[in-house]
């Protein structure tokens, strides 16, 4: 995939045609992934760049803060003046305005396409509990069964709380354990019992099964979508 530098708008040559070429190459590579129903990390990366452009558009004063700064104490004041001059340069600002006017709608269209693919895949995923649902749900297991396949993908999860900008957020850490073959004797419930025996620190684990009714990219779509759905499930149960 073609990567887009986080400061692509202001790094290098600030020229509309050049930046258009850079952006279209990036969007073409993202579109290729979407055409294969591969969403992550491509969709989140696209959203990141889109929000950056919106920030610059709404608050052009922030443009100064976005310019790359590799400053030593000796030349800080001199380069600071140079950056201020660039930001105040009407010609450069006109180029940036043209780039923003072109780029934001292009990114928006592709974001909508990615969102639609996300919703389509999510509509083919059903979640159910395996066994009784315990009171403590901050850690446990989840399974993914895709398109009635005989293999079950097994994950362990743990909810975490982290702070950012004086706000608290819920996160989730997952660990891929194994893929096991389902048989008449080796059922989903039996696999859960085996996990309880193997990991004694979770004697009564919350366990969820994601049944996927079609075939989609596993790492790039199913796993991140399952994690998002699991977080919603746990939030509702809290």
Helices 90-122 and 223-237 meet at what angle, rounded to 10? 80
| Model confidence at 235: pLDDT above 70 | yes
Q: Is the domain of 96 the same as that of 192?
A: no
Q: Is the domain of 82 the same as that of 153?
A: no
Residue 113 lies in a domain: yes
- The pLDDT confidence band at residue 164, using thresholds 50, 70 and 90, is low
User: What does the mean pLDDT of the chain come to?
Assistant: 87
Question: CA 128, 131, 137, 138: dihedral to nearest 10 degrees?
Answer: -90
Q: Is the domain of 168 the same as that of 109?
A: no
Q: What are 23-49's pLDDT values in tens digits?
A: 999 999 999 999 999 999 999 999 999
| Domain, as residue range, for 66 | 16-122
pLDDT of residue 2: 82
- The pLDDT confidence band at residue 212, using thresholds 50, 70 and 90, is very high
141, 157 contact by CB (below 8 A)? yes
pLDDT of residue 163: 57
Residue 2 lies in a domain: no
Cis-peptide into 130, omega within 30 deg: no
Helices (H), 59-128: 62-66, 76-88, 90-122
* DSSP letter string, 3-55: ---TTTTTSS---HHHHHHHHHHHHHHHHHHHHTT--TTHHHHHHHHHHHHHH
- What is the H or E stretch that residue 223 is in? helix 223-237
Q: Specify the number of domains making up the chain.
A: 2
Q: What are 113-154's pLDDT values in tens digits?
A: 999 999 999 999 999 999 998 999 999 999 999 987 889 999
Residue 178 pairs in a beta bridge with: 154
Question: CA 43, 47, 53, 57: dihedral to nearest 10 degrees?
Answer: 140
| Model confidence at 96: pLDDT above 60 | yes
| Mean pLDDT of the region 1-5 | 85
| Mean pLDDT of the region 172-189 | 94
Q: Is the domain of 76 the same as that of 53?
A: yes
Residue 195 lies in a domain: yes
pLDDT of residue 175: 96
| Domain finish residue from 122, 154, 172 | 122
| Mean pLDDT of the region 52-67 | 71
More confident call, 162 vs 197: 197
| Model confidence at 67: pLDDT above 60 | no
| Mean pLDDT of the region 173-202 | 94
Q: Is the domain of 117 the same as that of 166?
A: no
Q: Is the domain of 139 the same as that of 192?
A: yes
Q: Is the domain of 160 the same as that of 100?
A: no
pLDDT of residue 140: 97
């Amino acid at each position: 995939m073609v990567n887009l530098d986080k400061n692509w708008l202001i790094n290098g040559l600030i020229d509309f045609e050049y930046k258009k070429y850079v952006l279209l190459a990036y969007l073409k590579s993202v579109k290729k992934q979407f055409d294969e129903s591969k969403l992550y990390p491509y969709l989140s990366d696209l959203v990141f760049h889109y929000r950056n452009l919106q920030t610059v558009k709404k608050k052009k004063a922030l443009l100064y803060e976005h310019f790359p700064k590799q400053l030593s104490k000796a030349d800080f004041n001199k380069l600071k003046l140079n950056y201020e001059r660039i930001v105040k340069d009407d010609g450069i600002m006109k180029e940036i305005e043209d780039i923003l006017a072109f780029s934001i709608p292009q990114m928006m269209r592709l974001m909508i396409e990615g969102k639609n693919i996300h919703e389509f895949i999510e509509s083919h995923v059903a979640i159910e509990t395996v066994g009784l649902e315990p009171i403590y749900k901050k850690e446990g297991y989840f399974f993914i069964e895709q398109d009635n396949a005989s293999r079950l993908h097994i994950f362990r999860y743990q909810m975490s709380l982290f702070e950012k900008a004086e706000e608290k957020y819920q996160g989730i850490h997952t660990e891929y354990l194994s893929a096991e073959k389902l048989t008449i004797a080796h059922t989903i419930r039996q696999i859960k019992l085996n996990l309880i025996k193997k990991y004694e620190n979770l004697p009564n684990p919350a366990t969820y099964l994601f049944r996927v009714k079609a075939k989609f990219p596993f790492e790039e779509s199913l796993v991140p979508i399952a994690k998002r759905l699991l977080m919603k499930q746990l939030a509702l149960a809290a």
